[in-house]
Structure 1
C-alpha cells in the first residue's frame, strides 16, 4: 500500500513538473514557427535571384509557410519578424593541427532593409504578418528589392520569428531563416553536389542555363524527377562534347570550372541514381 502511494505521488509530481516546464496545448501558450523542408541538407537556407526575370521587375516576393504551436489563436494574432546579425566562428590551428584560438566574426555582405528587402515593420508587410483564428497554416512574405548591388554580389538576409504581443517564437531551429538575394548567377540552396558531380561554380551553372534554357533555381531543381535528371544529364554530356570539340578546333582547352586550373575540367555523370 505504501509503495503504491509513493508511486502515485511520484507520477503526480512528474506530471506537475512537466506542465510547469513545457508549454503545451493545455497551458494557454501560443507560438508560431516556420514549416521547413526537413529532407533538405540545409532546411532553413533559401535563395532568390532576379536572373531570368523581366528587366523591369523592381521587386518580388518570397513566400514562407508558418504554423501555430500550442493553443490555436482565438483572435487575429500578429507575427513579428526581425533581422539579426549573421556570425560564424573562425578557428585558428597550430602546427600540430589542434585549435589554438577562435574568433567570432560578422559575416560579410548582409542584406540591408530598404535596399535589398522591404523592412519587416513597413506597412506593406503588416497585412500579411497575421495568423487568423483557428488557422492551421499561413504564408508570409519577404519582399526582395532589385538593387544595383545585387548584379555582381549575393547579399544574405538573416531573419527570424520574434515574440510579438500575441505569439511567441517557436522552436529556435524552426524560427530562423537564411535568405540569399542576388541578381547574378549564385548557388541555389537546392543545389545537389552528388547529382551535378561537383560543388557549385559559376561556369558549371552558366553552362547548364545556356544549354537548357532553364534557370536552374530552387523551384526548378526541386521539381525534377529521376527521369528528368537522367534526361538533363544526357543533354549536359551531349552539349559539353560538342562545345569541347569546337574549343579544340580553336586551339582552346576543354571547358574548365576554373580557367586557370588545368585539373578542373567540367564533367557530368551519365546516370542519376536518385
Structure 2
C-alpha cells in the first residue's frame, strides 16, 4: 500500500492579504515580508501585530533592514538585533536572517548573536546562503551557529538549475539542519524538485500582478525609482496558484520498500 508524502510548504508573502491568501490555500507556514520586489524586507510592527491577530498558521518574519547584499554595517546589525528581540517578545513563530562576511562566508559571530536573541523562536537562514563562496562550509557554519533551517535554491537562479547542489546540501545537513528548497517552484515542477533532492520542505511565493484600484493616475511621477506603470500595480499572493502548487507537492506517493 502506498502512503502520501507530505512535505511542509511555506509561502513567502507580502503583508496581511498575502498571509490570509496563503493560509486559506492550505500553506503550513508563511514567511512574512515587506517589499518582495527587493527580495523581502522586515515588515512593520503594525503588520506583525495584525498578522498575529488573524493568522491560523505559524509565520516567520524576515529580518532584513535593506535590499542589496548581506554585508551589514554595525548600525544595521544592531537594528537587526532589536528587530529580533521585538519579534520574539511579540510571539511570532520564527525569524528569518542572513549575514555574510566580505569574502562570502557565513558571519558566524553575528549569526550566533541573532540566534541567541531569537530563542526560543526558530531561526531560518535565508538565501544569503546562496551567495556564499563555499556552500559545504556554510552548512557546517550554520549548524555550529545554532540555525534551525536554511532556505536555498542550490546557489542557482532556480531550484531546477541547482538540483545537484540542493541534493548535496540535504546530504550534508543530514538532519542537523532542515533544508527548505526554493527558486521558481510551481505546480509543474515542485514534485520533481522534492523527489530529486529529498528536501523535507519547500518555499515559493506565487505572486501575481494586478492593476491598482486608483481611478486617478498621475502620468508624470514615479516613486522610488520605479517605472510609472509600477505606481499603479499591486503584487498579490495568487491563492489558486498556492493551492495548485501545494496539491502538486502532496499527490506524490512513496512506494513501499
- TM-score tier (shorter): under 0.3
> Whose strand proportion is higher, 1 or 2?
1
Q: TM-score, normalised by structure 2?
A: 0.24
Highest Rg: 1 or 2?
1
Q: TM-score, normalised by structure 1?
A: 0.23
> Whose helix proportion is higher, 1 or 2?
2
